[in-house]
Every structure is written in structure tokens, then in C-alpha cells.
Amino acid sequence: MVCHASLSLQPHSLHANKRKGSDTEARIIRQEAKEAIAQTALIHHLSSDKHKKTGIRK
């Protein structure tokens, strides 16, 4: 799941790098991509069947 998310985000950052050519923007895009991947993984993790049965522990 996480691998698939990072693959789908890659073309966007490559395109943005070509467009702006800015290291700072590339770094920001990579950070946003990491956050999006982490968020997606968390959502999948929390909505998994295991947690539905046992309840979410904090």
C-alpha cells in the first residue's frame, strides 16, 4: 500500500522539478509526499479489520 502511494506521487514531483528547477520546492514536495504517504498508511492501518475487532488503543 505505502509503496504504491509513493510510486503514484513520483511523477508529480519529477514534473515540478522540471518546471521550477528549485531545490527548495523539490524538498517541500518530497516532504508533502512523505506526509501524504504517512497519512494514507495511517488511515489504512486504522480502518483495517484487526482494529475493528479489537478496538483502537491509544
**Is 50 exceeded by the pLDDT of residue 4?**
no
User: In this structure, is residue 43 part of a structural domain?
Assistant: yes
Q: What is the pLDDT of residues 20-40, one digit of tens each?
A: 567 888 899 999 999 999 999
Residue 17's domain spans which residues? 2-50
Domain count, the chain: 1
Report the interhelical angle of 2-20 vs 23-46 (nearest 10°).
160
pLDDT in tens, 9-19: 555 555 555 55
- Residue 58, in any domain of the structure: no
Per the structure block, which three cell numbers stand in for 3?
509503496
Only one residue has cell 506521487, namely 9
Residue 55 lies in a domain: no
Q: What is the pLDDT of residue 56?
A: 55
Given this model, what pLDDT does residue 1 score? Answer: 44
Confidence (pTM): 0.39
